[in-house]
Structure formats: structure tokens, C-alpha cells
């Protein structure tokens, strides 16, 4: 069985973060492991409290995982502390981790920053450069590139700027930009567009977490990056089309929308 590690925050409502990642990994018939960077008190209406793990405890979690059941892929989500970022980088290098997917959770839906300056600097200088692929949305790509994004041409320019310090793939998610859900994969060798019709579903809590975890699963299965992204987008499209409706706000996806045993891994 393929093994995948998620390093992220816990979502008490189960729609995003560690919980969404574990559901996604399980739906791909893979074995999920987790290192929790923070506990959150949240639900479909918002985040009401955050309690960070200590850097030492994050390190202990990672040691226990890599020394016993080494993951074939790693997904990294919410990390808002510079010390924790440095610990993660140190441990991933120590254990020669492969297939690293970084979802840079930097900007809230409201547009406010979720990171202090030192954490943002550590993310950009130390964590993103070790990623096999990073998956920023439009607001996050604007922060990373320092470039305003209003159209697909701007997405390409921002990706080129980010590539100056990110040697791996850069998947800019275009959901904030247009009526479509077009994403751009940019590498220093080539670029590719993934064009998808937007699914009319207000319940999108955890889509970024889910997509990045699905990419990690496909990397663990040995697929090329371009195929990994297409497979992951197909999975999340199905999860949105399932139209799960829970909670009073933006509800979660149906991660188990496929019948048991239908995944190809």
C-alpha cells in the first residue's frame, strides 16, 4: 500500500486541513499519516481559535513517522510559524523526503494575511524551494510574486517570477479569477493549462487542501506531474459535483464520492 504524509493544521469541523487530507488519501486507497502543526476551533462559518504545536513536538511527530513508516509523498498545508517551517525543512532534508507538495496557506478568504512576516519569509526562502510542486491560489500567487493578477497573462507572469526561487512545479489555481476553473502548471521547462468548467456549488470548504493531497497521492503512485494534476482535478470535480450540503456556511466536499474500490491505485 502506498503511504502519504500530511503536515498541516487540524480542522475541528472535518472539512479542511488534516481531516480533509486523510479522507482524500483514504479515498485513493492509500495509507495516511499526519503531523499536526496546529489545532483550530472552526466550522463552516469561520475560524474561532488556533493553538499551534511547538516546533519540538512537530519534530517528534516527523521523527516517529519517518523512522517507522516512511511516506512516499508529503503534503504540507497550514504552517504559520517560522520555527516550525524550519523544523519541517530540516526533517524533510534529513530523511530525504520525496514528492513534496506545498499548499502555501498565506491569505484568508477575506484577503487578510494568515502569516507573520518572518513566517512568510521562511516559507518563501526555505520551504517552497524544496517542493516538487507548490499550489498557490491567486491571492497567494500575488503575495509570492509581488505581481497583481487580473487575467491568464498575469498568471503566467506571476509564475515566472515565482520560478526565480521555486525550482519545482508551480500550480497557480485560477478559481478566484474567472467563471472557469483554469489552473496553470508552470515549470522552468514548460507550462500547461488545465481548463475546467466551474462547478456551481457554494460548499467549497477544503478544496485547496483536498487538491494538494490528491496530487500527493498521485505522485506516490508514480504518475508524471502533469498526469497527477489532471487526476487530482478530476477527483475534486467529482467531490464538488456530489453536492454534499452540511453546516450553516461554506460546507465541506464529499471526499468519498466514488464507490469503494473504484480508485485506480
pLDDT band at 108 (very low <50, low <70, confident <90, very high): low
Q: Check if 174 is active-site.
A: no
Q: pLDDT value at position 97?
A: 98
Lowest-confidence range among 32-41, 44-53, 222-231?
Answer: 44-53
Coil, helix or strand for 221? coil
Mean pLDDT of the chain: 91
In the chain, domain spans:
3-241
Q: pLDDT value at position 175?
A: 77
Average pLDDT over residues 242-254: 91
pLDDT exceeds 90 at position 261: no
Average pLDDT over residues 106-112: 57
Q: Are 175 and 193 within 8 A, CB to CB?
A: no
pLDDT exceeds 60 at position 263: no
Average pLDDT over residues 215-234: 97
Average pLDDT over residues 176-205: 85
- Percentage of residues in the chain having pLDDT higher than 70: 93
Catalytic residue among 9, 169, 208, 251: 208
Q: pLDDT value at position 262?
A: 45
pLDDT band at 178 (very low <50, low <70, confident <90, very high): low
3-241: CATH topology is 3.40.1190
Average pLDDT over residues 112-136: 88
How far is residue 164 from each of residues 105, 118, 145, 190, measured CA to CA in Å?
A: 20, 20, 9, 14
pLDDT band at 110 (very low <50, low <70, confident <90, very high): very low
pLDDT exceeds 60 at position 54: yes
Q: Check if 263 is active-site.
A: no
Q: pLDDT value at position 181?
A: 72
Q: Check if 207 is active-site.
A: yes
Coil, helix or strand for 57? helix
Catalytic residue among 204, 210, 233, 251: 204
Q: Check if 173 is active-site.
A: yes
pLDDT exceeds 60 at position 113: no
Lowest-confidence range among 11-15, 40-44, 112-116, 140-144?
Answer: 112-116
Phi-psi region of 99 (alpha: psi -120 to 50; beta: other; left: phi over 0): left
pLDDT exceeds 70 at position 40: yes
Catalytic residue among 77, 206, 210, 228: 206
Catalytic residue among 209, 217, 228, 251: 209
Cell of 93: 532534508
Q: pLDDT value at position 259?
A: 65
Q: What is the pLDDT of residues 130-158, one digit of tens each?
A: 999 999 999 999 999 999 999 889 999 99
Q: Check if 93 is active-site.
A: no
Q: Check if 204 is active-site.
A: yes
Query: Locate cell 502533469: which residue?
Result: 226
Amino acid at each position: 500500500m502506498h503511504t502519504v504524509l500530511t503536515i498541516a493544521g487540524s480542522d475541528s469541523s472535518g472539512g479542511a486541513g488534516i481531516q480533509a487530507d486523510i479522507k482524500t488519501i483514504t479515498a485513493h486507497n492509500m495509507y495516511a499519516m499526519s503531523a499536526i502543526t496546529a489545532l483550530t476551533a472552526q466550522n463552516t462559518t469561520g475560524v474561532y481559535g488556533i493553538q499551534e504545536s511547538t516546533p519540538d513536538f512537530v519534530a517528534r511527530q516527523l521523527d516517529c513517522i519517518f523512522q517507522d513508516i516512511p511516506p512516499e509523498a508529503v503534503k504540507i498545508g497550514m504552517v504559520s510559524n517560522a520555527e516550525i517551517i524550519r523544523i519541517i525543512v530540516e526533517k524533510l532534508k534529513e530523511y530525504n523526503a520525496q514528492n513534496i507538495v506545498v499548499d502555501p496557506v498565506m491569505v484568508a478568504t477575506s484577503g487578510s494575511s494568515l502569516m507573520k512576516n518572518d513566517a512568510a519569509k521562511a516559507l518563501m526562502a526555505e520551504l517552497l524551494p524544496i517542493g516538487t510542486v507548490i499550489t498557490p491560489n491567486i491571492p497567494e500567487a500575488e503575495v509570492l510574486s509581488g505581481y497583481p493578477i487580473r487575467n491568464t497573462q498575469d498568471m503566467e507572469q506571476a509564475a515566472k517570477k515565482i520560478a526565480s526561487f521555486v525550482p519545482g512545479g508551480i500550480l497557480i489555481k485560477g478559481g478566484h479569477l474567472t467563471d472557469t476553473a483554469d489552473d496553470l502548471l508552470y515549470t522552468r521547462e514548460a507550462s500547461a493549462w488545465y481548463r475546467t468548467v466551474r462547478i456551481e456549488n457554494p460548499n467549497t470548504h477544503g478544496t485547496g487542501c483536498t487538491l494538494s493531497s490528491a496530487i500527493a497521492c498521485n505522485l506516490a503512485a508514480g504518475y508524471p506531474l502533469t498526469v497527477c494534476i489532471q487526476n487530482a482535478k478530476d477527483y475534486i470535480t467529482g467531490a464538488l459535483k456530489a453536492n454534499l450540503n452540511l453546516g450553516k456556511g461554506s460546507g465541506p466536499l464529499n471526499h468519498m464520492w466514488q464507490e469503494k474500490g473504484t480508485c485506480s491505485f
